[in-house]
Each structure stands twice: as C-alpha cells, then as structure tokens.
Amino acid sequence: METSLTNSIDTQETARQRRIRELRDLFLTLMWMGHRQMVRRLQAHDLSHPQFISLACLAAHKQPASMTELTEVTFQDAPATTRIVDRLVRMGWARRTRTENDRRVVLVEATQEGRRLIETIRDDFDQMNDLGFGSLSDVELTRIEALFDSVLAICLQQYGQDRLDLAQVKQEFRGFANDPIRFLKTHKLTES
C-alpha cells in the first residue's frame, strides 16, 4: 500500500515537472517568435536588436548616460557596447561626450535623429499584433494579467522583494519601460 502511494506521488510530481517544463518551453518559444518578428522589423531600419535596445534606452533616458550604465542595462559586455555605440554614432543616431570632472568617463546620448528613429520604430511596432495580445478578449487578458502577477510575485521572492506591494512594483516596472537606465540606477536587483 505504501509503495503504491509513493509511486503515485512520484508520478504526480513527474507529471507536474513535465507540465512546468512544457510551459517554460512554450514561453521561450513565444519569446523567440516575438524576438524574430521584432528583428525582421528592425532590419527595415538597418538596426540590429542590440543596437535598437541601446538606442531605445538612450532615447528614453533623455540625458547622457555613461557607457557603464548602458552596458549594465543592455546586458552587453563593454567591447560589444563600444561597437554598438560606434555604429550608432556613425549613423548619426547617437553622440559621445566626456565629463568635465573626469575625462576618462565617456557619456553617450541619443541625437534628435536617433529619437525620431525610435519613435518611428515604436509606431511600427504598434501596428504589429501586439504579439497576439491584441486578439485576446478582455476576459482572456484579465486571466493572463492574473497569471503574470503570480509569476511576478514568485520572481520578486527570488530577489528578496516579496514584501513589496505588487501594484506598486508593477507601477515601478513601468518606469523601466519608460527609462531603463534611470530604473537601474534606483533599483539594484540582486538574486538572494
């Protein structure tokens, strides 16, 4: 009797683990599909995805950022960030300056042309199907929001931030979308 109960629990856990793995794989596939769609649209503007992310961060920041800040927010290493900024400068979409206090510190910012390009691309993205979300009913959107809230709460636990109000955190995360560089300056997230 005890053996069949143990086997039943093992089978249930295995089935649960399989479902979790399948959901994770589905999520990764959806992310890949969205990324692929984005990359294709960026090619029309002669931008790679890393170049777009860097320029979008700079355009949102609206003031010069250090290369270190840009490197941190884009998850690039320093040499890759330098190559990306080199191209953005060459295309006229960004400019480099140095601080008066410490000439070793390189600052970079989006030019007006770079900001206009980001606005054009955002308008182009708005014409997309919002990664499928635009086709969902209001009830389906509410369900997905509730599920995302649950996943966000779990992620916050991993960063030791589970004591925070979820609505407040979501509002602050909108700040990330509006200005990723400023967000990272004020929110140092480290896994616990």
Write the CA distances from 150 to 29, 30, 145, 146, 162, integer angstroms: 20, 19, 9, 6, 11
Q: What is 21-64 written as a DSSP string?
A: HHHHHHHHHHHHHHHHHHHHHHHTTT--HHHHHHHHHHHHH-S-
Which pTM value belongs to this model?
A: 0.76
* Spatial separation of the C-alpha atoms in residues 62 and 182, rounded to whole Å: 10
Handedness of CA 108, 111, 113, 116 (dihedral sign): positive
**Distance between CA atoms of residues 15 and 126, nearest Å:** 39
Where does residue 165 fall: left (phi above 0), alpha (psi -120 to 50 degrees), or beta otherwise? beta
Do 162 and 71 touch, CB atoms closer than 8 A? no
Torsional sign, CA 153, 159, 160, 161: negative
pLDDT score at 192: 46
Q: What is the pLDDT of residue 7?
A: 59
DSSP code of 77? Answer: -
One pLDDT digit (tens) per residue for the chain, 192 residues? 556 655 565 566 688 899 989 999 998 998 898 889 889 889 999 999 999 999 999 999 989 999 999 999 999 999 999 999 999 999 999 999 988 888 888 999 999 999 999 999 988 887 765 667 778 899 999 998 899 888 888 887 887 766 667 787 777 777 777 888 887 777 665 544
Which residue in 189, 177, 183, 181 sits closest to 74, CA to CA?
181
What topology does CATH give the domain 46-128?
A: Arc Repressor Mutant, subunit A (1.10.10)
Q: Rounded to whole angstroms, how far apart are CA atoms 21 and 147?
A: 17
How high is the pLDDT of residue 10?
Answer: 59
Q: What per-residue confidence (pLDDT) applies to 127? A: 74
pLDDT at 14: 87
Write the pLDDT tens digit of every residue in 71-104: 999 999 999 999 999 999 999 999 999 888 888 8
